Structure 1
Amino acid sequence: MTGGEEPAGRQDADAAPGPLRVVVADDQPVVLHGFAAILGAAPDVEVVATVADGVALLDAVARTAPDVAVVDVRMPRLDGIGATQRITAEHPGTRVLVLTTFDLDEYVYDALRAGASGFLLKDVTAGRLVEGVRLVADGAMLLGPSITRRLVSDFAARAGAPDRASRATGLDTLTPREHEVLLTVARGLSNAEIAAELFIGEQTVKSHVSEVLRKLGARDRVQLVITAYECGLVG
């Protein structure tokens, strides 16, 4: 990259795919450097920055335009929830994968509501960590069953009746293919897995997902999962 150019992040579909660009944020040095070493050893992953607090994370994301930010929940200056909210709002090309000690941590739940694409426990295996980054970069979600149930319950309780009715009505506007895509998203499949299952290209999957989000008035794939659960499409 020459001086003054902005980092490009993921390359377009017509270019040869480059490595996944990842930023790792954790205030525990052993965890930070351990996860960075694991990810950096993967042939298709490049760790472009490691940081120890949320403010430094925002700066790193702005500078490096990573595909995925692997974010600890509890960090100084700005915690993982606040950082996730800022990243998803200001850098939509970067997906957030949250790290936590407990799978029912309320902070993780809040981070998912803030726009994170999923979570992993800190005792995750090396293989699962790399796989998780790949899945999140590809548009999948990493939501455990307990977190999914809590998300559905909370949104059902907090969302207004008009909002729920609007999304339910939106289901009637989906084409048969879009309905199939919604069901696969609700099962947590990545774009690549959806493409393989439905025998269509990944770019076509992305187009369908975008259209489903628009028709249902959903912000992200998490809300698509919630809609599918609320409407009884999955259970």
Structure 2
Amino acid sequence: MSGSSEVKPEVNRVERRTDPIRVQIVDDHALFRRGLEMVLSAEDDIEVVGEAGDGQEAVERAGDLLPDVVLMDIRMPRRGGIEACRGIKSAVPSARIVMLTISDEEEDLFEAIKAGATGYLLKDVSIDEVPDAVRAVHGGQSLINPSMAAKLINEFATMAKKEEERPHQVPAPRLTEREMEVLRLVARGMNNRDIAKELFISENTVKNHVRNILEKLQLHSRMEAVVYAVRERLLEIT
């Protein structure tokens, strides 16, 4: 992780809360974990409740630690980050998981989202941005590097083509026209603030629409909703 990067995800500042955000750090490099722990522990509203050196240990400890946010690498021994993501989401469904990795592979990005990750950041992001990333994800945002967002959309388009001939099994939940507009903008990698500007509505209204979309689709994250919508042909990405 360097002090600056050419491409940085835009992170909206999230209003701080009384109880500290509980963070679990998972990475097989002790020095990297220590660097993150030092930066996050300096924040009054964030508490590092535990660390793990591999995915297996992370899953085993998550049930006791009950983290709000997990920062996790993908490439780790014993159990990789994507498999561990599934395990943690099973043990602590409310946990928000951010993949913090050097991997810019499309397959890793897509599999991480399918596993339940709500963020995917490359390790060249400025370390000073990590606390705000934790707050943003905990506040309900999905974070992804802009360069990776483009790859994600390409993956959605490929998936949509593969699914063109798949027969429908169950009618998909009906979204309103406005909810579809919001979903399309989410698919473009836009955050709540940018969506609000685009549609001339408030950020709170955007949050309400996103919450309604997730409830209707019975999903847990914005990116899961986009995957579902493409699969069910509710959303076309060209």
TM-score after normalising by structure 1: 0.74
Q: Is residue 71–residue 98 contact of structure 1 (8 Å, CA) maintained in 2?
A: yes
**How far 1:101 moved relative to its partner?**
1.0
Structure 1 residues 95 and 154, CA gap change in structure 2 (3 angstroms) = farther
**How far 1:146 moved relative to its partner?**
3.1
Q: Is residue 20–residue 45 contact of structure 1 (8 Å, CA) maintained in 2?
A: yes
Q: Mapping of 1:25-174 within 5 angstroms?
A: 25-104=26-105, 106-143=107-144, 144-159=148-163, 161-162=166-167, 166-167=171-172, 170=173, 173-174=174-175
The CA deviation string for residues 90-138 of structure 1, in whole angstroms up to 9 with x for no partner, is 3210011012113226334322221111211122212222222222212
**How far 1:62 moved relative to its partner?**
0.7
**How far 1:224 moved relative to its partner?**
2.5
Higher relative contact order (CA 8 A, sep 6+): 2
Structure 1 residues 131 and 234, CA gap change in structure 2 (3 angstroms) = farther
**Distance in 1 between residues matched to 2:185 and 2:157, nearest whole Å:** 21
Q: Is residue 149–residue 189 contact of structure 2 (8 Å, CA) maintained in 1?
A: no
- Three-state SS of the structure 2 residue aligned to 1:96 is strand
**Distance in 1 between residues matched to 2:48 and 2:194, nearest whole Å:** 25
Name the structure 2 match of 1:212.
Answer: 213
The CA deviation string for residues 183-218 of structure 1, in whole angstroms up to 9 with x for no partner, is 45435455687789733648x935x43432344465
Structure 1 residues 152 and 99, CA gap change in structure 2 (3 angstroms) = same
Give the root-mean-square deviation of aligned CA atoms: 3.3
- Three-state SS of the structure 2 residue aligned to 1:198 is coil
**How far 1:59 moved relative to its partner?**
2.4
